[in-house]
Amino acid sequence: MFRRLPDAAAMAARELPFTLDGEPASGREGDTVAAALLALGRRSFRRTAVSGAERGPWCLMGVCHDCLVTVDGTGNTQACLVPLRAGMVVSTQDGRREVDR
Amino acid sequence: MVGEAGEAARSAGPGAAAFVPDDAVRCDVAVVGGGLVGAAIARGLAGRGLRTVILDEGDVAHRASRGNFALVWVQSKGLGMARYGAWTRLSSDTWADLARELRDETGTDVAHQRPGGFALALSEDELKKRLTALVRMHNQPGWIPYKFEVLDRAAVQRVFPQVGPDVAGGVYCPLDGHVNSLRLFRALHESFRARGGRYLPGRPVSAIARDGAGFGIETAEGPVRAARVVLAAGIANARLAPMVGLAAPVRPQRGQVLVTERCAPFLSHPLVSLRQTDEGSVMIGDSAEEAGPDDRIGLGVLGVMAERAVRMFPAIGRLNVVRSWAALRVMTQDGFPVYDQSDAAAPGAFLATCHSGVTLAAVHSGPLAGMIADGALAADMAPFSARRFDVSAVA
């Protein structure tokens, strides 16, 4: 659904390796976690705490809280507000976060 | 008496001149106040076949019912009034029946649970103070004994493996529980309407006067005539009570609440200062401030609450806070409820006020509504009368 624009500067950006649900993945420098996941074709980022329905990024500006993922062990992290870094461990979230993760 | 509102209107004396009979809402009982206390009583009255109306200020009201902590709590209630301990205990013992009735009548599950509750102490001194108060409470004349346990740190850890290093011990009482109080509020109103009650919002009451055998009530949207009136208007009871010859010496007392994002269940029991809701949020709050009618939050108090909560359960420190609010408890000088009724010579006016609208919902809907329907409070309700604040009467 999403593809990267053929923008020269963006295409030249450095590749950033990270881990997504235990698998090696990569994004580009300047991506947010949400942008990287969308560019990889991910539409569902989590399942909701109450009904278990799938959710993905909606507003991409920190308001809707639908893009929550677990980043480096911290649950309910807004993927659209966190810049991707090399080596990040990202996982999609199934329902409620744990109190200590 | 009941059902005579129409008769009373036709035979109304001079006092009725201010009310236009044809426009007036008529009912057997008018309950002033549509919060948890008013709705619980009104539901009980409607269930006893009385034509019952709730006169409510509406969503602009100071609404403790939307800001409370949602405990159904027993363990700390009643030092100084054994009758209050027994009344609280009765409500706790019948709460599951209320929850079942509400589910059957409205389809709403109010998530009542009674796993027993804890009060954790962050020092030996705190634990000792709590224990001393409990022993004094249970040694009162007329106290109906119930079980509680004092736990040392190791015993607390067996129940809560994630407890923090500062917790010295705690008190456990198997009678304590909690609910989803917003669903309770909604379910009480739904049940009230399903039982034939009428909820009238936008009706702040400006005057109540005796009118023949009943009462004429002036509201913002016109007059109401009722054979009986029940004042359950929280802080506004202080203003309304003298209109029917009663007193309600109540003041607002601010309590603040912090709520975190939802997380997987980790707290098996409610604490007096901390609980995990049925939906997974963690609520933190047991503050009490004398701030008049000011219901703004303050970072100082919220900070202390958060700090104590994290010392009890360090893992909570990783959760995001999503909401905070303040609400106003309806507080008497001694902290106990007031249930009162007008003189036997001119019966028909009742008053109910407390700061435990959740805990006491079962007795408000049950026995208290029954007494009001029967026309008089039972003799054993006398300790709750506001006459206890009248120094000359007590001396």
Quick check: B266 contacting A, CB < 8 Å? yes
Domain count, chain A: 1
Chain segment B92-123, per-residue pLDDT in tens: 999 999 999 999 999 999 999 999 999 999 99
Distance CA B52, CA B66 (A): 23
Output the pLDDT for position B392: 61
CATH of the domain at A78: 3.10.20.440
Q: For chain A, percent helix, then strand, then coil, each to nearest 5? A: 15, 35, 50
Would B97 be classed as within a structural domain? Answer: no
Query: Do the domain assignments include residue A8?
Result: no
Note whether residue B94 is domain-resident: no
Boundaries of domain holding B288? 251-331
Output the CA angle B332-B73-B265, nearest 5 degrees: 135
Smallest CA–CA separation between B300 and chain A, in Å?
25
Residue A85: inside a domain: yes
CA distance B314 to chain A (A): 9
Burial of A68 (0-12, 13-18, 19+ CB in 10 A): buried
Question: Residue B393 above 90 pLDDT?
Answer: no
Residues of A in contact with B313 (CB under 8 A): 99
Cβ contact, residue pair A99, B261, below 8 Å: no
Q: In the predicted model, what is the mean pLDDT of residues B167-177?
A: 97
Instruction: Name B84's Cβ contacts closer than 8 Å, sequence gap at least 6.
Output: B77, B78, B336, B337, B383, B384
Domain count, chain B: 3
B12 has a pLDDT exceeding 70 = no
What value does the mean pLDDT of chain B take?
92
Q: What pLDDT is recorded for position B378?
A: 97
Domain coverage including residue A55: 15-94
pLDDT score of B43: 98
Contact A99, A28 (CB under 8 A): no
Looking at the fold, whether B260 and B318 belong to one and the same domain comes out as: yes
Low-confidence ranges of chain A (pLDDT < 50): none
Pair (B255, B318) in one structural domain:
yes
Nearest CA-CA distance, residue B106 and chain A, Å: 21
What is the reported pTM? Answer: 0.89
* pLDDT over 80 (residue B179): yes
Assess contact for B61 and B35: CB atoms under 8 A: yes
Lowest mean pLDDT among B30-44, B170-184, B292-306: B292-306
- Shared domain for B264 and B128, answered yes or no, is no
Q: What is the pLDDT of residues B124-151, one digit of tens each?
A: 999 999 999 999 999 999 999 999 999 9
CB contact under 8 A, B280 and A49: yes
Helix (H, G, I), strand (E, B) or coil at B102: helix
Cα–Cα dist B34/B334, whole Å: 25
Terminal CA-CA length for chain A: 31
* Cross-strand partners of A74: A71
For residue B293, give the CATH number of its domain.
Answer: 3.30.9.10
